[in-house]
Chain A
Amino acid sequence: MKTGRWVIAASAADLLFLYLPIAILIVFSFNASKLSARWQGFSLQWYAQLFTNQALLAATENSLIIAVVSTVLAGLLGVLTAVALERQPFRGQTAFEGFLLLPIVMPEIMMGVAMLLFFVMIKLPLSLVTMTIAHTVFNFPVVALIVRARLHKLDPRLEEAARDLGATPWVAFRRVTLPLLMPGIVGALLMAFTLSLDDFIISFFTAGVGSTTLPIKVYGMLKTAVTPEVNALSAILVLVSMALVAAATWVQRK
Chain B
Amino acid sequence: MNTKKSFPWLIVPPAATLIFLFGVPLLLVLAVSFASRGTYGGIEWVGTLTNYTSIADLLYLRIFWRSVWLAVVTTAICLVMGFPMAYAIARAPKRRQGILLLLVIIPFWTNFLVRTYAWMFILRTEGLLNTVLMSLGLIHEPLNILFTDWAVLIGLVYGYLPFMVLPLYAALERLDPSLIEAAWDLYAKPVQVFTRVVLPLSKPGVIAGCVLVFIPSLGAYITPDLLGGARTMMIGNLIQHQYLVVRDWPFGSALSFVLMAGVLAAVLYYLRAGGARSLT
Contacts and interface: CB of A to CB of B under 8 A. Distances in A.
B177 interface: yes
Which of A4, A15, A107 gathers most chain B CB within 10 Å?
Answer: A107
A85 B181 CA distance: 41
A234 interface: yes
Give chain B's interface secondary structure class: helix
A249 B105 contact: yes
A30 interface: no
Contact of B22 (A18, A89, A103): A103
Interface in B122-140: 122, 124, 126-128, 130-131
B173 to A, nearest CB: 13
A88 interface: yes
Interface in A4-61: 4, 6-8, 10-11, 14-15, 17-19, 21-22, 24-25, 28, 35-38
A232 to B, nearest CB: 11
Interface residues of B, number: 94
Interface residues of A, number: 96
Nearest to B7: A88
Given A107-B263, A113-B239, A245-B110, A118 B25 contact: yes
B113 A117 contact: no
A76 B14 CA distance: 9
B127 A11 contact: no
Contact of B106 (A114, A172, A197, A242): A242
12 contacts: A10-B85, A14-B81, A19-B103, A88-B8, A103-B22, A109-B259, A117-B253, A137-B22, A163-B2, A198-B112, A238-B110, A241-B109
Interface of A: 1, 3-4, 6-8, 10-11, 14-15, 17-19, 21-22, 24-25, 28, 35-38, 76-78, 80-81, 83-85, 87-90, 96, 98-111, 113-118, 121, 133, 136-137, 140-141, 144-146, 149, 156, 159-160, 163, 169, 172, 191, 194-195, 197-198, 200-201, 205, 215, 218-219, 222, 226, 230-231, 234, 237-238, 241-242, 244-246, 249, 253
Given A3-B88, A218-B114, 16 more contacts: A6-B84, A18-B158, A21-B158, A90-B11, A96-B11, A102-B22, A103-B22, A107-B263, A110-B263, A113-B29, A117-B249, A137-B22, A144-B14, A172-B3, A234-B117, A245-B106
